[in-house]
Amino acid sequence: MKTLTMLGAILRGLSYDDGKCSCVARLADPATVDAFSAADLLRVKDLSLSADGLDAAGRKQLTSQLRTAWQTHVAANRVRPAAVVVTVAGQDVAFGIGRTVDQARHPAPGSADTARRETTVTAPRGIFADRSSVVSGRVSVVTGGAQGFGEGIVRSLAEGGSTVCIADLNVAGAQRLADELNSEHGRTVALAFGGNVTDEASVEQMIDAIVESVGSVDLLVSNAGVLKAGSVVDMSLADFNFVTSVNYVGFFICTKFFAPIMALQNAASEGKMTSDIVQINSKSGLEGSNRNGAYAGSKFGSIGLVQSFAMELVADNIKVNAICPGNFFEGPLWSDPERGLFVQYLRTGKVPGAKTVEDVKRFYEGKVPMNRGCRPDDVVRAICYIVEQVYETGQAVPVTGGQVMLN
């Protein structure tokens, strides 16, 4: 983990107060804050830092040193700094701090006065109308967020007041969605990042970019996933490995690199902050799926990872849970006319007697007691529960319309 990435996460944890989160953004030119008053600017010069990173003991020492400098500044000035300059390997590095991404990117003298730093946030809408504090002010990352279930989750989290980082291989699609949401809300509520969840270097680079832009992460929604249906006797090893790599290994890689950032932030807040990792699983992670073994196996395995990661990461104030949705019939995974599951299942003969895609769809709708597929809002309600419920970790929460019931 790079030193600059550590600094962003630690500063975000230090800036947490009164249950409110801030964004922390690295400033391209440290000189932009030279004219700030002593109350607005915290300078930390006496740290012997390498740009390459620190071991666990070094991270702990760095957190302690920055906390002391922060607390000394607040005690002397009775306000929090609007910008922080830290010397790393002989070079000054500046960070802006604000309630929103835009404030952090463009800190202003005088903004250390907390009363004047508050920015009106878009009033929560939709399912958040009566749960406005659940994700408001938090930084969320949604992998596979440019389309399908992921896009619906991104839209709902932005409605709830979260700053959402859209992480996707489809960078152009992620950017289009971010631009649309930012225009709709009249400020920066979403940012686009490229990343391949199956590649460690790609995920690490993505996290560095995210932390440089917003400071750290409160909620990771590990949503990126793929499905290839087929009989065990016909499926190629390449297809089996592809599904496993994205759904199972991808969740491991994302957790591996996001958890240390969350831990740094939470430690800097002295235990006041809690982070969440939510894996979007499937009802196929709760029961087997005929002619769909690669997908179901990857989802069953992911629940094992969820439970194991939950036991380990709870010490860092990180909760790890899974949501197991039913079928999102309207999304591209099911309805894409070329590669969707309805077409795949029709071609593979998974539904006896089905002659058309509509036959396949009616067959699957008939399996759900509530007579419809799962929708993004249904999943986001479950995300809200997981984030809001501080006394739960390691769980797999079904959202299936009664199709799969726990026993």
Same domain, 217 and 107: no
Res 130: pLDDT:
55
- Judge contact between 226 and 242, C-beta under 8 A: yes
Same domain, 201 and 281: yes
pLDDT tens sequence across 147-198: 988 999 999 999 999 999 999 999 999 999 999 999 999 999 999 999 999 9
- Judge contact between 397 and 320, C-beta under 8 A: no
Same domain, 108 and 176: no
Catalytic residues: 295
Res 297: pLDDT:
97
Average pLDDT, the chain: 91
Is residue 352 situated within a structural domain? no
Res 119: pLDDT:
43
Q: How many CA atoms lie within 13 A of 243 on its CB side?
A: 19
pTM given for the model: 0.90
Q: Which of 117, 151, 169 marks a domain boundary?
A: 117
Amino acid 399 reads: V
Q: How far apart are CA 252 and CA 246, in angstroms?
A: 10
pLDDT tens sequence across 38-67: 999 999 986 767 767 788 888 888 899 999
Structural domain boundaries enclosing 32? 3-117
Same domain, 100 and 184: no
Q: Which of 83, 117, 151 marks a domain boundary?
A: 117
Q: How far apart are CA 185 and CA 182, in angstroms?
A: 5
Same domain, 299 and 247: yes
The low-confidence residues of the chain, meaning pLDDT below 70, are: 18, 46, 48, 51, 110-132
Same domain, 100 and 194: no
Is residue 195 situated within a structural domain? yes
Judged on CB neighbours under 10 Å (0-12, 13-18, 19+), 71 is exposed
Same domain, 164 and 217: yes
Q: Which of 91, 117, 143 marks a domain boundary?
A: 117
User: Which CATH number goes with the domain that contains 274?
Assistant: 3.40.50.720
**Number of domains making up the chain:** 2
Res 126: pLDDT:
64
Res 275: pLDDT:
98
Q: Looking at the DSSP assignment, which residues form a beta bridge with residue 397?
A: 323
